[in-house]
């Protein structure tokens, strides 16, 4: 796997996290988005929800390209870096708690991703 593939996987991961953040932000602007069918339809046409869906669609096309170039047993686990990005982003953007246990979990994930990345080099 070359640096371009790693960059594309990181870009794909950032797109997926961005879509999730748009959805979370869009939901946070509604008082009760699942109150009835009308509120659900209104929610689905929110610019933030639609933007997140659009980014997810682009990420899916990019993912198909990545899968054509990189072993899925390497590429997919590398996407778990999204957990780290999400925990940090949620802390800053949504004022969510950042505990030592979350930080430790992120470190374990990073170690695992690193080991999987190295396995591509040594296999």
Angle at 45 between CA 40 and CA 51, to 5 degrees: 125
Report pLDDT for 2: 87
Domain that holds residue 28: 3-120
Instruction: Report which of 61, 53, 62, 77 is spatially closest to residue 4, judged by C-alpha positions.
Output: 62
Q: How far apart are CA 70 and CA 114, in angstroms?
A: 16
Report pLDDT for 32: 86
For residue 13, give the 3-state DSSP assignment.
helix
pLDDT along the chain (123 residues), means of 10: 92 97 92 87 92 97 96 89 94 95 93 83 71
43: Cβ contacts below 8 Å, ≥ 6 apart: 26, 27, 30, 33, 34, 49
**Count of structural domains within the chain:** 1
Report pLDDT for 31: 81
Q: How far apart are CA 40 and CA 89, in angstroms?
A: 26
Report pLDDT for 123: 66
């Amino acid at each position: 796997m070359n640096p371009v593939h790693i960059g594309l996987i990181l870009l794909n991961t950032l797109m997926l996290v961005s879509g999730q953040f748009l959805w979370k932000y869009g939901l946070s602007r509604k008082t009760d988005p699942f109150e009835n069918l009308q509120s659900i339809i209104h929610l689905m046409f929110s610019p933030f929800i639609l933007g997140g869906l659009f980014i997810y669609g682009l990420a899916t096309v990019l993912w198909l390209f990545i899968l054509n170039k990189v072993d899925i047993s390497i590429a997919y686990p590398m996407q778990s870096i999204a957990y780290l990005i999400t925990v940090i982003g949620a802390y800053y953007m949504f004022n969510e708690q950042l505990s030592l246990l979350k930080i430790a979990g992120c470190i374990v994930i990073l170690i695992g991703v690193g080991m999987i990345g190295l396995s591509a080099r040594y296999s």
